[in-house]
Structure 1
Amino acid sequence: MFERWFEIEVVEPLADFQNPRQEWRRLVSELVGTFFLVLVAAGGGMMSQAFPETISRTAAVVAPGLMVLAIILFMGKVSGAHLNPAVTLAFSLRGDFPWRRVPGYIVAQLAGAALAAWFLQSVVHVSATFGSNYPAEGYSSFDAFLMEAVLTLGLVSVILGTASGAQNVGVIGALGVGAYIALAGLWGSPISGASMNPARTFGPDLVGLDFTDYWVYVAGPLTGAVIAVGLAFVLRGYGGGQRGAEAAQGVLDTEVPRPEQS
């Protein structure tokens, strides 16, 4: 009898955690994950302003890729580790993520980004605008828009590809996405900043109260994401498979059988 009671006490909390109604766990995951992403992505620019001789551009653009790799590994199975409104919309367009959950994810991502920018500005004592993204001097907003669209096309293609039934979700996805973010930043950041993420730019812009050319960092990533979804259809057909859904939503829906009570 004691063994049966102990087994119930252990299993029931796990079953509660995996209850699909516990959406708040996924939202917290997205908020925390986006917080850490923006902490590193915006922090690179802000720290280089505070300590000019210690943070190179290479370090500033590679660090977000490494952070995303780590985030996918530690919380990917909780929420899918979107960290990006463009990724959330892409998963929904692909049929791997319910539309009803999109608003909550995006709000959590924007909130996490804003909290990270506020934290950085409070601690580093540098304006959050130094952690945001703007078109480079001598380049138009449209140039930056095209760069963001193309870079996001590649990013979302990698995400959707490693989230498909033909690939291994987990370490492979984390390595692929993290490496792509670092690579895109190394060559694409001089023109647009290689944001590829409306939330990543929103946080510093909100805290710094400067939304100059912010449309570039919304329209560019969303355009690239939509094209990536179309490309995924051409390459792999319809989405909505079990593996893609698990990658997009996490795996908290899994039912855990409860032992029969006697």
Structure 2
Amino acid sequence: MGIEEQEISKIEEGVGTSTTAKTSGDAAFCSSASVVTITQKLIAEVIGTYFVIFAGCGTVAVNKIYGSVTFPGICVTWGLIVTVMIYSVGHISGAHFNPAVTISFGIFRRFPYKEVPLYIAAQLMGSILASGTLALVFDVTPDAYFGTVPVGSNTQALVLEIICSFLLMFVISGVATDSRAISEVAGIAVGMTILLNVFIAGPVSGASMNPARSIGPAVIKHVYKGLWVYIVGPIIGTIAGAFAYNLIRSTDKPLQDLVRNGSFLRGSTSK
């Protein structure tokens, strides 16, 4: 009996040790600095995207329903809300709020590849939640739809989205990724770029420049006309904009050296 009791005791101790180790491992995982950090970033992206869409699309809905905002007011609102949210959470998550921007940062090695899907999911969640809130608060009829639908042809809207997204990412690359830039005005520069783009392309394409901005309202109100334009256009435009800026980032090396070394992708040349 003594031997059996010892074996049972060892088994119990082994089980207890295994359970304790598992619990300790789970606690370590939950308290890991990297896990906490990425969680904070994702929460910041959800909140930031939520308020960008809530304010921007909200003014579109209010203007269509009550007619009290006017088109210039919509443009200013988009620029202001992006500026405000960049200064609010930019130091936490980088203030992407845009899957196309996140993808471009990932391609040009300005952002970890493994975090790209997480950021995109957070941005889409923020947009869908904001769009759902607007749908609950306002009586959104088809005429008051606050999403983006091409006014002209899909091709016309696609070209405008590519051009506007190019300019947006070109500015972001200049003010947010180049150490020679004045980082304190990055939020203002990006916000004013969006304001300008909405003035130019808003009446034709809606000036989305952001797949999340178009997907959220489309999912909530089930309006998918031309949605592919607002997914493909911004992604092509932002990649091209980042590529263009990285080509001119360095002025002390010939183009053939930049291409040969891949510096135009890394953006890690002298600044």
* TM superposition score normalised by structure 1: 0.81
Matches within 5 A, 1:225-244: 225-237=238-250, 238=263, 239=266
Return the alpha-carbon distance in structure 2 between the equivalents of residues 140 and 18 of structure 1.
50
Q: 1:133 aligns with which of 135, 148, 151?
A: 148
Structure 1 or 2: more helix by fraction: 2
Q: 2:115 aligns with which of 101, 107, 117?
A: 101
Is this contact kept in 2: 1:162–1:176, CA < 8 A? yes
Residues 154-163 or 42-51, more deviating: 42-51
1:202 correspondence with 2:215 = yes
Q: 2:52 aligns with which of 31, 37, 49?
A: 37
Task: Name the amino acid aligned to 2:96.
Answer: H
Is this contact kept in 2: 1:127–1:208, CA < 8 A? no
Over 3 Å counting, the alpha-carbon distance change for 1:236 and 1:216 in structure 2 is same
Over 3 Å counting, the alpha-carbon distance change for 1:168 and 1:18 in structure 2 is farther
Over 3 Å counting, the alpha-carbon distance change for 1:18 and 1:150 in structure 2 is farther
CA deviations on 1:75-128 (whole Å, 9 max, x unpaired) are 001000000001101111221101100000000000100000100110112148
Return the alpha-carbon distance in structure 2 between the equivalents of residues 85 and 69 of structure 1.
18
- Percentage identity across paired residues of the two chains: 31
Unaligned runs of 5+ in 2: 1-29, 251-262
The aligned counterpart of 1:182 is 195
Over 3 Å counting, the alpha-carbon distance change for 1:132 and 1:241 in structure 2 is same
1:221 correspondence with 2:222 = no
- Dislocated runs of 4+, deviation >4 Å: none
Task: Name the amino acid aligned to 2:61.
Answer: M
Specify the SS of the correspondent of 1:64.
helix
Q: How many residues align?
A: 224
Q: 1:115 aligns with which of 129, 139, 151?
A: 129
CA deviations on 1:26-84 (whole Å, 9 max, x unpaired) are 000000000001012211221112212x1101111220110010101110010000000
Task: Name the amino acid aligned to 1:218.
Answer: I
Is this contact kept in 1: 2:249–2:267, CA < 8 A? no
Specify the SS of the correspondent of 1:20.
helix
CA deviations on 1:170-225 (whole Å, 9 max, x unpaired) are x3110100011011111211110111000001111000011110000001001101
Specify the SS of the correspondent of 2:35.
coil
CA RMSD of aligned residues (A): 2.1
Over 3 Å counting, the alpha-carbon distance change for 1:124 and 1:102 in structure 2 is same
Return the alpha-carbon distance in structure 1 between the equivalents of residues 77 and 33 of structure 2.
35
The aligned counterpart of 2:9 is none
Is this contact kept in 1: 2:246–2:267, CA < 8 A? no
Over 3 Å counting, the alpha-carbon distance change for 1:99 and 1:48 in structure 2 is same
The aligned counterpart of 1:172 is 185
Task: Name the amino acid aligned to 1:46.
Answer: A
Task: Name the amino acid aligned to 1:108.
Answer: A
- Give, in angstroms, the shift of residue 240 of structure 1: 5.5
Q: Which has the larger radius of gyration?
A: 2
Is this contact kept in 1: 2:128–2:217, CA < 8 A? yes
Q: 2:65 aligns with which of 32, 35, 50?
A: 50
Report 1 or 2 for greater relative contact order, CA contacts < 8 Å, sequence distance ≥ 6: 1
Task: Name the amino acid aligned to 1:49.
Answer: K
Over 3 Å counting, the alpha-carbon distance change for 1:86 and 1:50 in structure 2 is same
- Give, in angstroms, the shift of residue 229 of structure 1: 2.0
The aligned counterpart of 1:28 is 43
1:85 correspondence with 2:99 = yes
Over 3 Å counting, the alpha-carbon distance change for 1:55 and 1:26 in structure 2 is same
1:192 correspondence with 2:187 = no
Task: Name the amino acid aligned to 2:149.
Answer: Y
Q: 2:90 aligns with which of 60, 69, 76?
A: 76
